[in-house]
Structure 1
Amino acid sequence: MSVLKEKLAPSAELLYRQVSPSPSWVNDGRVTSVAFTPWEKDQGLLSVSCGSRTTAECCYDHYTKNLGLQSVGVWAVTTDEAKAVGLDSYWSPVEPPDPRPPDPAHGSIDFRGRDEKTAKTLAKSLAKKAHARGRQYPPLEQGQSVAPLPPPATPAEQPAKP
């Protein structure tokens, strides 16, 4: 787990968030609150990349190439938008001895201490802001609202039913 090194001041600094190609994360071209909700394993800290330390393209490349994960794109909120809904944001670089590849631009939006209902409401607010700002990377083609989703697994690739 990364360490919260520096609290970020509310500003126009972008906090980039990778969005999974799952329909629950982006539906009909609209980023959902799921994309801005920390998972239980995250211990209340939503992973983002700090715009003062990277670009949308670089954090996308890190996520897809270095970590080998899928992303339909990068959306963003500002530290000011996070603070406006009561959430602090931090620079929390991934460094050794963390087993993950180093990420000096890693940051966190702090949802700790929020119950599930409150966290969902806050995530919904962030998702609305991110959707209004639009996808930051990769660029959208004319008339495209979101990158195409990967094709569903073929029957041969799907796990057998028990």
Structure 2
Amino acid sequence: MQDAQTVTRNIGISPEDQAAIVDGLGHLLADTYTLYLTTHNFHWNVTGPMFNSLHAMFMTQYTELWNAVDPIAERIRALGCPAPGSYAQFGSLSSLPDAPEVPPKAEEMIRILAEGHETTARTARKLFPTADSANDEATADLLTQRIGAHEKNAWMLRALLEG
């Protein structure tokens, strides 16, 4: 996303580490935004006997995701780089597929979202060692929060598929 030359903040983190962290945060932002869009899409389009509970659960989850994108983008800015923000950038940076054009059945929605949270947790976890070794406590804290949120949401979704 950014090379080491574009990161110029003297905050005790080397330019090389800042660039690597910014790159990883760009991927996390893209995954988070893509998962937000998919979750909101499914909130609008869910049908079936679990409509009420899924409609409410999806709203809770997309609201949490929406509230997560700003701190990720602002951390990228604090590290001296522009945050990605276009659909094209998110499409190229995200590990997640776009939402299906035809809304799937409720059970498939649940599976897609559980996998999306697991993937996004892995994206955050992959960056953690870099942030940790660079003594970037602010990014490490953000990553810890995101990993916990994604693992909890994945667990709640997977629980609906059991039994």
TM (normalized to structure 2)? Answer: 0.28
Higher helix share: 2
TM (normalized to structure 1)? Answer: 0.28
Higher relative contact order structure (alpha carbons within 8 Å, sequence separation ≥ 6): 1
Higher strand share: 1
